[in-house]
Amino acid sequence: MALDIKFLQSEVFDQYMADDDNRPWIIGFSGGKDSTMLLQLVWSTVAKIEPMLRTRQIHVVCNDTLVENPKIAKFIHVTLEKIQTEAVRQGIPLTVHETTPRLEESFWVNLIGKGYPAPNNTFRWCTERLKINPTTEFIKNKISQIGEVIILLGTRSAESVNRAKSIKKYEVKGERLRKHVLPNAYVFALIKDVETDEVWHYLLQNDPGWGGTNRDLVTLYRNASGGDCPLVIDTTTPSCGNSRFGCWVCTVVKKDKSMAALIDNGEEWMEPLADFRDMLQENRNKRELRDTKRRGSYIEDENTWGPYIEEERANMLRILLEAQKEVQRSEPELVLINAQELVGIQVTWHRDSLFRFSVADIYNSVYGTALEAKDFDVQDLFEKEILREIFHDEEDFELINEMLEVQRSKYILVSKYGLQNDLENHIDRYVKMRK
């Protein structure tokens, strides 16, 4: 049976005009083929409704993990700007929102700061921190403001067996909406029964309401020979798997086929990124690069695999900055790790009582700059000159200064949890060194 676009649009119209206290719509937009089709169907339908009847608010939410494939990230950013501009011009009650992980949950602060091992299928710490939490927080905020929301997702049963099971599990026969795992949230899976070839046929035959065509999207898929990541808002939504436009640092898959394909199709500037990802995957299970203690526990145990050792964290930061410097030769605006994340790494090192390496020194060694440690730290709570007047012993001065850094790190990362334990452990190590 051929895809019935008019039926899908009628579904959108009926649900949009439903008498349900105008519960706002939240559309998960990843910039891929499925979410683009979903948004186009909503846009084309709402645009035909009389302006005075367009009273239901629509929120387009796109999550940026801060480690997205740069080629894809740039494409999505340009698309979102077009969507917001045209929504205002055409009187569509739609606003665009980009969510990002909190600093303490960002990929680089976890990997290089805390020393988390690169993600794999058994320790996939990235999905929740980078994807689920930011978008979930946005949805929860809307629920707290309004009461209930309807989430529109471009998930399709044809995408995978697991996705089909997930959709089936929560749907109610005869009803458009199904309950979401979040309280007071409902899901409207408009295109769940659409086949992949029907998605492409629709996109090639219908231009987006915000202008332009879908040719760039088609070219992107063709060059990357891959698929897109769905907007992940809970554990029932499959993550990237084998079909992905996602994080360029992803080590869950054995080979990043999409990035490799982009490089083969002329994006050679991405080679340093591919090399860095491969290094992460290769080094993950090297015993000599992992500590024999977990954070908060200082009992040596050769059978315990803890975080990356201090030297490896510093080494990864140096190689990352070298990769960033290299790609900036052809992509000068591209930033792989931002200033806030650099501060977050330095703060995390201090919190974990790691003082042998300085983010400023590593940055200076790569970029030839003359930045000081304070450029990657918070303003001193106490003047160091006063400390020196009180503590004549250099080692005592360093101890107090380092403990203050541990305390400051808790404030920057908005978490005082475990502060007393961190300080006590730091003192214990100091006493052992003085014996």
In angstroms, the CA 431 to CA 435 distance is 6
Angle at 393 between CA 390 and CA 399, to 5 degrees: 85
pLDDT at position 305: 83
Residue 230 contacts residue 34 (beta carbons within 8 Å) = yes
Q: Is 133 exposed, middle or buried (0-12, 13-18, 19+ CB in 10 A)?
A: middle
pLDDT at position 297: 46
State whether residue 36 is helix, strand or coil.
helix
In angstroms, the CA 255 to CA 110 distance is 22
How do residues 23-74 score in pLDDT, each as one tens digit? 999 999 999 999 999 999 999 999 999 999 999 999 999 999 999 999 889 9
Predicted confidence (pLDDT) at residue 237 exceeds the cutoff of 60: no
How large is the average pLDDT for residues 87-106? Answer: 95
How large is the average pLDDT for residues 371-377? Answer: 74
Predicted confidence (pLDDT) at residue 195 exceeds the cutoff of 90: yes
* pLDDT band for position 316 (cuts 50, 70, 90): very high
**Higher model confidence: residue 236 or residue 396?**
396
How large is the average pLDDT for residues 383-395? Answer: 55
* pLDDT band for position 404 (cuts 50, 70, 90): low
pLDDT at position 258: 84
Mean pLDDT estimate for the chain = 83
Predicted confidence (pLDDT) at residue 427 exceeds the cutoff of 70: no
How much is the pTM? 0.79
pLDDT at position 326: 96
* pLDDT band for position 380 (cuts 50, 70, 90): very low
pLDDT at position 211: 95
pLDDT at position 298: 46
